[in-house]
Structure 1
Amino acid sequence: MSADPAIGAFFEMLAAERNAANNTLAAYRRDLEDLLTFLAARHIAMAKAATADLRAYLGQLADNDLSPRTQARRLSALRQFYRFLVEDGRRGDDPTAALDAPKLGRPLPKLLSEEEMAALIKACNELDGAEGARLLAMVELLYATGLRVSELVRLPVAVVMRDQPFLTVRGKGGKERLVPLNPPARSALTTYLEARPRFLGGAQNSPFLFPSRGKEGHLTRQRFGQLLKGIALKAGVDPARISPHVLRHAFATHLLDHGADLRSLQKMLGHADIATTQIYTHVQQERLKTLVETHHPLAKSTSRKREIAAKK
């Protein structure tokens, strides 16, 4: 880092006055070093940079395909630095005041492929006993219906006592909706219902489909999440990529891949606003973009040219 006293004073302030963690200081240092390199190539002192200089720097970040989140983090570091210079009396204006932050957009949900879901279900099938029957039923149910995990663990046993192709689910705001049950889910439920009395403990009965001896009376979402991560290991899927909500995303994305329309998907997911459901169309677009960039020969050629240019 430059010996510029303003930069040194900035880091002293972060450490002393804001008690910034070492990781935070290291991140700010990397970001400011990157700006310093950019400005030095243009013979501009960092403390003297104008708004146009910083806008050119941010433009270069975008041209280099840095993610909007990385661009936003870099801009945040610049804002902190130049505001400090103003507050410390080292310059009279803040050149970052007129800079616009990049649009972050909504983060895309984590994805599991159809092959990974098949591996997860296969691993559940290979488990023995009542525990295995319960986990298979829960995984099959989530993947077949796209239920929220809170809806799943609170399902009343009455809704599945009859062999029917639909579930009636009470979701957010007490609104009811019908969700279809495919044959694998119905089969898994039939097997689980035979094993369900093992989970009742000393109680004669329980209103919940997935009862538990805990104070809530049903299996908790946290415990189900733990069971999912355990079976992910057996299935050869990274546990860090698995959660009950990821299975809901898998349901939605795989349905769209096979031709489902957004309105139907909105009803099954229980979204009040279709704009919430539309995030899955962005997922499809990103997957197509990645597919083209990874496999198309012209895309590979362009990517290689960028790599060569970056090294110069």
Structure 2
Amino acid sequence: MTIVRDNIEMFMRYLSIEKNCSPLTIEHYEKDIMHFASFMKQQAISDFAAVSYVLVRHYLIVLHDASYSRNTVARKISSLRSFFRFLNKEESISHNPFAMASLPKKGRQLPHFLYQEEMEQLFSVCSLEDPLGQRNQAILELLYGTGIRVSECCSIKVKDVDLSMETVLIMGKGRKERYVPVGSFALSAITRYLEDGRLKLSGKSSVKSDSLFLNYKGEPLSSRSVRTILNKIIEQSSLNVHISPHVLRHTFATHMLNEGADLRAVQELLGHAHLSSTQVYTHVTKDHLKKIYNNAHPRA
């Protein structure tokens, strides 16, 4: 399976260097391709060039029998189609066997978000007396207050924060830069962290980092660590909900639109290339819907 490994590694380098994909995106691609490579091994096929459309159909049946969701199957097919297109372009294979594979229609699910009362509970958890508590509060306020992605949050440098202009420079997908406004609560949390907690964390490492958020060793914080931090905040709160950095992004967009923000403005803040990506957040909560009804209907 040496050829298979070489092909996969070549594609991973392409995603990282030429496509500027995030580490999480690359991880998902690799996971999907390795899953198919494992299936190939079971079928005694040791080269991607030997993959046929018949084998692809067999793989889709295996995915169906394994009860994968439509969204997961669609993602796997999309990943493999891109991978085989790359191999075809590099002339490692003569055709793309996934070109004819149809994507299952994705199920449309409303994004999971938190209510304002739930967010208030989260904000009351972190201890503001120690460096890690100050850092965690700043992360929580920033993620909710701006709707940025966790990878964007971890890539922020100290110089990217402009406290006087109340903005943060964000490096988005495809290395596209955008300035996002930062609210008063997030600004207060970041200022407290910069003036106290970050100075103490920075002193724990002999190599000084320009990253805004540092771990307990004084090194740049990773996306995985942010997810761990949020899980601990949930454990310390009385909430029985699932939370992730993306749930906070969903919450930001939902609350903005529910309060009357313009859809295109939210698109710009989220860093979406297409408006259709933002439109998924145009759902409204039952409370908001009832409020609109009571205010608008003459017989309410």
The TM-score range, normalised by the shorter chain, is: 0.5 to 0.7
Q: Supply the distance in 2 between the matched residues of 1:268 and 1:214 (Cα, whole angstroms).
A: 32
Q: Which amino acid aligns with 1:276?
A: S
The structure 1 segments of at least 4 consecutive aligned residues displaced by more than 6 Å after TM superposition are: 289-292
Counterpart Cα distance in 2 of 1:105 and 1:254: 23
Relative to its length, the structure with more helix (as a share) is 1
Q: Does 1:280 align with 2:281?
A: yes
Aligned to 1:119: 121
The reply on whether 1:228 has 2:213 as its aligned counterpart is no
For 1:186 and 1:141, locate their aligned partners in 2 and report how far apart those are by CA, in whole Å. 8
1:134 aligns with 2:135: yes
Name the aligned partner's letter for residue 189 of structure 1. I
- 2:188 aligned partner, one-letter code: S
Match of 2:84 in 1: none
Q: CA 1:160/1:280 → structure 2, altered by over 3 Å: closer, same or farther?
A: same
SS of 2:168 mapped into structure 1: strand
Kindly provide the CA deviation profile for residues 151-204 of structure 1, in whole angstroms up to 9, marking residues without a partner as x.
001100112264331112111111111211111111001110121022222235
Call closer, same or farther: CA 1:173–1:158 in 2, change over 3 Å: same
Change (3 A) 1:161 1:258: closer
Residue 108 of structure 1 and its aligned partner are, at CA, apart by: 2.2
1:178 aligned counterpart, secondary structure? strand
**Post-superposition offset of 1:235:** 1.9
SS at match of 1:208: coil
Displacement, 1:258?
Answer: 0.7
2 CA distance for matches of 1:238 and 1:230?
Answer: 12
Map of 1:185 onto structure 2 = 186
Equivalent of 2:213, from 207, 210, 215? 210
Residues 76-130 of structure 1: CA deviation (Å, up to 9, x unaligned): xxxxxxxxxxxxxxxxxxxxxxxxx995443322111111111101112x45411
Contact 1:163 1:186 in 2 (8 A): no
- What amino acid sits opposite 2:208 in the alignment? N
Equivalent residue pairs, number: 196
Q: Aligned equivalents of 1:213 and 1:133: distance in 2?
A: 12
What's 1:270 paired with? 271
Tell me how far apart the structure 1 counterparts of residues 175 and 104 of structure 2 sit (CA, whole Å): 38
| Distance in 1, Cα, partners of 2:287 & 2:189 | 37
Deviations 1:224-277, CA, capped at 9 Å, x for gaps: 1111111112221225x1011111111110011111011000000000000000
RMSD between aligned residues: 3.3
Partner of 1:139, secondary structure, is: helix
Structure 1: state its 5+ residue gaps.
1-17, 28-67, 70-100, 293-312
Distance in 2 (CA, whole Å) between partners of 1:251 and 1:205 is 33
The 3 A distance-change label for structure 1 pair 289 and 140 is closer
Partner letter of residue 210 of structure 2?
P
Larger radius of gyration: 1
Matched residue, 1:251: 252
The alignment-based identity, stated in percent, is: 40
Q: Report if aligned partners of 2:132, 2:216 keep a CA contact under 8 Å in 1.
A: no
Residue type of the alignment partner of 2:160: V
Q: Whole-Å Cα distance in 2 between the matches of residues 213 and 288 of structure 1?
A: 42
Q: Is the 8 A contact 2:155 2:171 kept in 1?
A: no
CA contact (8 A) 1:166 1:179 kept: yes
Please give the alpha-carbon distance, in whole angstroms, between the structure 1 residues aligned to 2:215 and 2:153. Answer: 14
Matched-pair contact (CA < 8 Å) for 2:254–2:281: yes
TM-score normalised to structure 1 length: 0.56
